[in-house]
Homo-oligomer: A and B are copies of this chain.
Amino acid sequence: MTSVRVPVVEKILSANDSLASLNRSRLDASGVFSINLMASPGAGKTSLILRTIEALAPVLRLGVVEGDTAPVTIDADKVTAVGMPAVQINTGGDCHLDAVMLSTALPQLPLEALDLLIVENVGNLICPAAFRLGTHANVLVASVPEGDDKPYKYPAMYRGIDVLILNKIDLLPYVHFNMDYFRKGVEMLNPGVKTFPLSCQTGEGLPAWIDWVKEKAAA
């Protein structure tokens, strides 16, 4: 069955890469720094976006693209509720965003008036890793209650990221999570990857992430 699908997938990936380059050019031309935010369902992507908006709205102009597999607007509503421009992409059941989807979303945003664009990918640790969007940084939100073995189980995702966030560190006292084992797995796949342990609930560790985003978006 895999052999039936490979040629189709290869053509899609190659078309995807061309469109990803066009997306990047468009973002660069508008001076927008863009983040592709990926995670397992419920790891805290939307919470991180809301925390980032809260911290940076006074100094940066932010926009958000929300990817969802179902036609619900829960996440997009949360973003627009705090006054940010948000576009929702409904993938129609697909388990990831791709460059085509992002290319249709970009014209709906006031790019010239933005400094930072956060693209919230579909909650999934597998498929989003295969599709470049054209964004500047691939950021993964891992979370403590998911467990310390995730780098070993989802190597393609951990290999392809520029930044790793470990969210929900406030739950460390209540679950089994071996930090050394987790870090060892990450280091093996992506040596020296920039990592921010934090909690969107308590705010612990957030300033370091915020500083990183601010620096990148101002550059």
Contacts and interface: CB of A to CB of B under 8 A. Distances in A.
Copies in the assembly, this chain? 2
B4 A12 contact: yes
A209 interface: no
Given A5-B8, A12-B4, A95-B95, A153 B201 contact: no
Given A70-B155, A154-B41, A125 B123 contact: yes
A92 interface: yes
A42 B95 contact: no
Contacts of A4: 8, 12
Interface in A137-194: 143, 145-147, 149-150, 152-156, 168, 170-171, 174-176
A152 B1 CA distance: 31
Interface residues of A, number: 46
A144 B105 CA distance: 32
Contacts of A92: 2
Given A2-B94, A70-B153, 4 more contacts: A69-B153, A69-B154, A70-B156, A74-B153
Interface of A: 1-2, 4-5, 8, 12, 15, 40-42, 68-70, 72, 74, 92-95, 98, 100, 122-127, 130, 143, 145-147, 149-150, 152-156, 168, 170-171, 174-176, 201
